Amino acid sequence: MRLLAAATGYELRKKIQFRVGFLVREVLNGAVEPLVMLFVYRALYRSAGGDGARLGGWTYPEIVQYVAGLLVVRKLVFNERGLELSTEIFEGRVTKYLVMPFPYFVLAQARFVQFVGLQLVVALLVWGIGYAAVPEHWLVPVSGLATLQALALALLGSYCCFLVYFTINAAAFWLDVIWSLLVMAAFVILFIGGGTIPVSQMPEGVADALRWAFPYWTISAPIELLLGRIGTPEFLRGVLVLGGWLTVLETVRRVTWRRGLARYVGAGM
């Protein structure tokens, strides 16, 4: 644990080295698309008759609150830029960790812990700024329990994302370039998780299918919990679905890492 704490402190220092960079990468990142979509929604609802119109079970003010939730919850979702593993593999920098008396994965987990710690603060900051600026449109959680449940789902889902990105990074043992796979995964996670439009606003068959995937429980479901649109039964289902995914993803990660290490050539040695 001491090792994890030390590594986390080191990762944190790296993150906030450049102030503007920090603001851009950690605070503003992920805010653009949802805000732009608000304009699209406004035009759409206008053509449907105004704020009172209900499209796919959502009114425009509810969509605004969903977008507010999106701005906050997305901060907690581990992103594709959070690991440098593939670069470390390409450049042979993994070597130095392999001879140290701890598994490399601990260092990667430290990056996840650092991410969560920092992003919880950022998420709180974003929520506070939004609430201070537009309290009447902003998302206010229906209860403390809902907040805790939303947080639990978002963090479990975030760890699923971490495992996905770790595994893709480990594909660098086989492939020369993997950034496109990372970007692709990020696209898919975001889209099917409700990062562009709420999953429940998608066609019914699509939405039902996506409720079996971890991105929905990472992005859309926590916001719906905060809005009071879903409750404890759905939360429990989410925990089960995420637990299943965690098991599968962790197994895939272990296998990929073990097989990848067998191919490691330690470039630069």
Partner 1 sequence: MLAIQRQYVRIGWIRKSQFRVEFINQVLMDCVFYVSFILTFEFLFELGGSGDAALDLGGWTRPEMRLYLGFAFVSDAVLMTLLGQQWHFGADLKDGKLDAFRTKPGPTAYLYFFQRFSPEGLTNLIIASGWLTYALVGLEPGSVAHGWLLPLALLHTAFVQIFLVIGLACFELFVLHSGIGHLVSHIAGSLGERPLEVYPSALSRFLLFVLPVGATAWYPSSLLLGKLDLPFAAVYPLATVTFAWVAATVFRRGLRRYDSAMG
Partner 2 sequence: MTEPSAAGDDAILEARGVVKEFVTFERAPGLRGIVKNFVARERKTVSALAGVDLSIQRGETVGLIGANGAGKTTLVKVLTGIVPATSGDARLFGVDSFALGDAEKRRLALVMGQKSQLWWDLPPIDSFHLLREIYGVDQAVFDERVRSFTRMLDVEDRLGIQLRQLSLGQRMKMEVIGAFLHDPDVVFLDEPTIGLDLVSRETIRGFLVRLSEERGVTYVLTSHDMEDIEETCKRIVILDRGTVAFDGARTELAARVTGLRAIEVHVDPRADVDLEGLRAALGAFGAEVQGKSAGTVRVLSSQEALDSVLPALLSRLDVRDLSIEREPLEQLVRSMYREAGHGAAAST
The residue behind tokens 């907690």 is 76
- From partner 2, partner 1, none, which one binds at residue 202 (CB under 5 to 8 Å depending on kind)? partner 1
Q: Which listed range, 9-17, 95-103, 199-207, 220-228, lies at the site for partner 2 (CB under 8 A)?
A: 9-17
- Which run of H or of E encompasses 37? helix 32-48
Q: What is the CA radius of gyration of the chain?
A: 20
- From partner 1, partner 2, none, which one binds at residue 6 (CB under 5 to 8 Å depending on kind)? none
Q: Which residue in 136, 141, 145 sits closest to 123, CA to CA?
A: 141
Question: In the complex with partner 1, which residue's Cβ is closer, 5 or 183?
Answer: 183
Check binding of 19 to partner 2 (CB under 8 A).
yes
Check binding of 22 to partner 2 (CB under 8 A).
yes
Question: In the complex with partner 1, which residue's Cβ is closer, 136 or 180?
Answer: 180
Q: Which listed range, 12-20, 72-80, 138-146, 245-253, lies at the site for partner 2 (CB under 8 A)?
A: 12-20
- Measured over the CA atoms of residue 150, residue 156, residue 159 and residue 165, the dihedral's sign is negative
d(CA 57, CA 260): 47
Q: Which residues make beta-bridge pairs with 58? A: 55
With a CB cutoff of 8 Å and minimum separation 6, the contacts of 51 are: 45, 59, 60, 61
Minimum distance of partner 1 from residue 122's CB (angstroms)? 15
Minimum distance of partner 1 from residue 43's CB (angstroms)? 4
Q: Which residues make beta-bridge pairs with 55? A: 58
Residues lying near partner 1 in the complex (CB under 8 A): 18, 20-21, 24-25, 28-29, 32-33, 36, 39-40, 42-44, 47-48, 55-56, 175-178, 180-181, 183-184, 187-188, 191, 196-197, 201-203, 206
